[in-house]
Amino acid sequence: MLPLPPLDPTTLYHRCDPTALGFTTTDELAEFRHFIGQDRAIHAIQFGIGMTRQGYNIYALGPSGMGKHTFVQRFVEEQAAQEPAPSDWCYVNNFAQPYRPLALRLPAGRGKQLRDDVSHLIDDLQSSLASAFESEEYQTRRQALEMELQEQQQGRLNALQEQARERNLTLIRTPGGLVFAPFKDGNVLEPEQFNALPEEEQERMKAEVEVLQEQLQKVLYQMPKLERDIRTRLRELNQEISSFVLSELMDDLQKKYSDLPDVLAFLQAVQQDVGTHLTDFLGAKAKAAESAEDEQPLPLPNGASSSPFLRRYSVNLLVDASDQSGAPVIYESNPTYLNLVGRVEQMATMGALITDFSLIKPGVLHRANGGYVIIDADKVLTNPYAWDGLKRALEFRELRIESPMQMMSLTTTVSLEPEPIPLDVKIVLIGDRRLYYLLSQYDPDFNELFKVAADFGDELVRNNETEALYARVIATVAKDEALHPFDSSAVARIIEHSSRMVSDGERLSTRLQSIVDLMEEADYWAIKAGETVVRAAHIAQAIDGQIYRSDRIRERMQEEILRKTILIDTDGSKVGQINGLSVVQMGNYAYGQPSRITVNIHMGNGAVVNIEREVEMSGPIHSKGVLILTSLLRSRYATERPLSLSASIVFEQSYGGIDGDSASSTELYALLSAIANVPIKQGLAVTGSVNQHGEVQAIGGVNEKIEGFFDLCKQRGLTGDQGVLIPIANVKHLMLRQDVVDAVTAGQFAIYPVATIEQGIALLTGMPAGALQEDGHYPEGTVNYRVVQRLEELSKKRAALEEWAKGNEKNAENSHAI
């Protein structure tokens, strides 16, 4: 079997040919404002927008930074522009139940008209009614009524006084009433004078006083009725005057809004209320004028400056669509509960908080009713009660304004219960995938309300066509962001970097934000260099800058390896010791780091101990990898006899957790080395998982891992014997740094594409793995032969040991019997 050749340098980096792009700079390219490679998401959003059934709201899921927001907004706005403008909504006073304001729906633009019309109506009514009630006709009729009352009251009392006088009695006022007194010559009789009168005269006067008292009682009883009668007639007079004025002013408005029955009902209610509250209505103007004269130390809330009484007739224009063309599209950046469903504000008056329908404020759902709302999923979920409020509105398709305290039934104070408004809105939530799956799993309402998932892919296939489109996207961004033009080499470098971002030479990243960041930074470096065109060198400078700003930890780790604080060999050979490779993720930056893996074996019962697992530092996938390699060991070498060894595997100097199965092949190599007692070349590092049949499988982060080991070797000096074994399935993912490619080209470093364990162990030990022959044995001088020999040796020793132990047990039993 020939030794596995290293990869050709051309396979290490999937280059983009600038000349093939067909332009000099991005100035020559046409704009491209569509998403590439997002057909699935586009289909989903088109479907979601077109579907008018309940619950077909959209969740746009995908990683952040790929321009989902821009895309969704643009797409929805295009659709909304073709739809009709929404209705205006107003809240008006419910005169029968003031705590339940009424909602009025009007065609777009007519809400503002109604508000202004009613405001003018109230002004006109005040003036007209005041004039009418100050008119000579009204005053004369009113005074006549008052005079009639006085004359009737006075006349009856005067008549009584006259009767009394004829009987030598007079009527005297007391602090609490009236009293009849005997009267003679203009003076009230003293008690002595009265007693001096003949007894008959006294009795006569007493009797007459009693009669007069009864008559006085009747007169006084009748007085409230008289006043009531006059008040009724006065009310009728007021009603007559006000009806005349009101009907005259209302006629035009009623004709104007004759097509809107709810508005007509409201106008009718206003007319009735003004008629029944004339005193307050006319008094309000004077009070408003007085309060306007008082200097207000602080500005009052909107509407508070007008008379509190007159506010009852105002129209609270909640949604004004007069300037709206097409359906509204609103992005709510702060989706709190109150910002979503609206609120009822309160204002401090005389030390108390009061409210009314004029203080109802709309939420974004009101303003977007009949259109679209775009919300960030994480924000709506992290704002207390916002998610519940949104769901309830969507579920019942109506907007009910309640404070959170009311919603939670934590307060029972008197407040408003505005009439709910029918809701017809499409919600587009934007969030990451994890949130989508969590909601989908744990919130039963979510799947009912957000039936459309627009799944944005984070990568797309790289080919000539997509590269050309990518270039146009780059050109569009350069124009939008006012960047210098990018030449073809810079665009090619960006495309290559895009592949590197997704760790796949045959794919491109859709995370447009990262590309925009890279372009802006490259533009910065071009300006610093005094150039007017951004070139590949500036892109490289920007990438290097990004890495340099982030790789302090990587550099420290590298230093510690070089200083031999962390022990990693990069030359020589050792038994049971191998260089594994891991990836460390630090925020948005990932780097590869070599780790020493060692294996010890001894006679035992076939157990392979994963020391990381023993101390709970091993993740489940890593533990699974170790179990797979144990199984592989048993199936390959212990089919005829028990596996009479035990082994322990450990990641040396690992103080954090280990997870992933990318080290399982590495661990297997170290185990085979330890069993066969064959040393492994320390100049090589290994990554790749292994299955039960010994096939090496793909892993993630291949580029970072290779570069991590390369950097260490380079620091120590490249020997030409160093390299990395990677799964052959990862070759297509290679997008290695230029210095790595250069070293490989110069023969100073090698990348080996490994398909099987046999290929890997041969490379690592320099000894062929050895294929199983027809006689069931491996050829001598191979690793497998040495493994089998060692296992047989251990097995025999173990059998002898067990025999000896059994003999001892028997002797002991016999001794006991004796």
φ and ψ of 38, to 5 deg: -120, 40
Residue in the structure block whose two tokens are 């004039």: 131
Element (H, E) at 614: helix 611-614
Q: Choose the binding region for other proteins from 153-161, 500-508, 602-610, 774-782 (rule: CB under 8 A).
A: 153-161
Closest contact distance (angstroms) between CB of 332 and other proteins is 57
- ∠ Cα 164 166 172 (to 5°): 30
Residue closer to other proteins, measured from CB, 143 or 631 = 143
Tell me which of 39, 190, 571, 640 binds other proteins, using CB under 8 A: 190
Q: Choose the binding region for other proteins from 115-123, 188-196, 259-267, 778-786 (rule: CB under 8 A).
A: 188-196
Q: Which of 122, 105, 83 is nearest to 318 (CA)?
A: 105
Q: Choose the binding region for other proteins from 107-115, 179-187, 387-395, 746-754 (rule: CB under 8 A).
A: 179-187
Site for other proteins in 494-533 (CB under 8 A): none
Closest contact distance (angstroms) between CB of 386 and other proteins is 57
Instruction: Mention every residue, 6+ apart, whose C-beta is less than 8 A from residue 736.
Output: 12, 13, 703, 706, 707, 751
Residue closer to other proteins, measured from CB, 150 or 322 = 150
Residue closer to other proteins, measured from CB, 229 or 262 = 229
Bridge partners of 617, per DSSP, are: none
Residue closer to other proteins, measured from CB, 219 or 399 = 219
Sign of CA dihedral 196, 197, 202, 205: negative
Tell me which of 42, 51, 145, 178 binds other proteins, using CB under 8 A: 178
Check binding of 181 to other proteins (CB under 8 A). yes
Contact yes or no for 490/538 (Cβ under 8 A):
yes
Check binding of 145 to other proteins (CB under 8 A). no
Tell me which of 21, 164, 205, 633 binds other proteins, using CB under 8 A: 205
How far is 320 from 327, CA to CA, in rounded Å? 13
Residue in the structure block whose two tokens are 């006012």: 482
Residue numbers annotated as active site: 662, 705
Q: Name the amino acid, one letter, at 398.
A: E
Residue closer to other proteins, measured from CB, 176 or 587 = 176
Check binding of 179 to other proteins (CB under 8 A). yes
Bridge partners of 597, per DSSP, are: 578, 651
Bridge partners of 162, per DSSP, are: none
The tokens for 563 are 């200083």
User: CB neighbours (10 Å) of residue 188?
Assistant: 13
Check binding of 168 to other proteins (CB under 8 A). no
User: CB neighbours (10 Å) of residue 200?
Assistant: 8
Q: Name the amino acid, one letter, at 143.
A: Q
Residue closer to other proteins, measured from CB, 221 or 442 = 221
User: CB neighbours (10 Å) of residue 818?
Assistant: 4
How far is 516 from 757, CA to CA, in rounded Å? 43
Instruction: Mention every residue, 6+ apart, whose C-beta is less than 8 A from residue 213.
Output: 180
Site for other proteins in 582-601 (CB under 8 A): none
Check binding of 116 to other proteins (CB under 8 A). no
Residue closer to other proteins, measured from CB, 146 or 555 = 146
Check binding of 279 to other proteins (CB under 8 A). no
Tell me which of 18, 37, 101, 182 binds other proteins, using CB under 8 A: 182
- ∠ Cα 766 772 777 (to 5°): 100
User: CB neighbours (10 Å) of residue 235?
Assistant: 13
Closest contact distance (angstroms) between CB of 384 and other proteins is 55
Contact yes or no for 359/426 (Cβ under 8 A):
no
Collapse the DSSP code of 578 into the 3-class scheme (helix H, G, I; strand E, B; otherwise coil) and give the result: strand
Residue closer to other proteins, measured from CB, 213 or 600 = 213
Closest contact distance (angstroms) between CB of 134 and other proteins is 15
Check binding of 172 to other proteins (CB under 8 A). yes
Closest contact distance (angstroms) between CB of 219 and other proteins is 8
Closest contact distance (angstroms) between CB of 126 and other proteins is 24
- ∠ Cα 687 692 696 (to 5°): 30
> What number of chain residues touch other proteins (CB under 8 A)?
30
Check binding of 175 to other proteins (CB under 8 A). yes
Residue closer to other proteins, measured from CB, 122 or 149 = 149
How far is 452 from 338, CA to CA, in rounded Å? 26
Long-range Cβ contact pairs of 521-526 (< 8 A, separation 24 or more): 521/545, 521/546, 522/486, 522/490, 523/483, 523/484, 526/484
Closest contact distance (angstroms) between CB of 127 and other proteins is 24
Q: Choose the binding region for other proteins from 29-37, 143-151, 265-273, 587-595 (rule: CB under 8 A).
A: 143-151
Site for other proteins in 209-228 (CB under 8 A): 209, 213, 216-217, 220-221
Closest contact distance (angstroms) between CB of 151 and other proteins is 8
Q: Choose the binding region for other proteins from 148-156, 468-476, 551-559, 680-688 (rule: CB under 8 A).
A: 148-156
Closest contact distance (angstroms) between CB of 204 and other proteins is 11
Check binding of 138 to other proteins (CB under 8 A). no
Sign of CA dihedral 650, 656, 661, 662: negative
Check binding of 157 to other proteins (CB under 8 A). yes
Check binding of 147 to other proteins (CB under 8 A). yes
How far is 54 from 607, CA to CA, in rounded Å? 59
Check binding of 194 to other proteins (CB under 8 A). yes
Tell me which of 5, 50, 176, 444 binds other proteins, using CB under 8 A: 176
The contact set with other proteins (CB under 8 A) reads 146-147, 150, 153-154, 157, 172-182, 187-188, 190-191, 194, 205-206, 209, 213, 216-217, 220-221
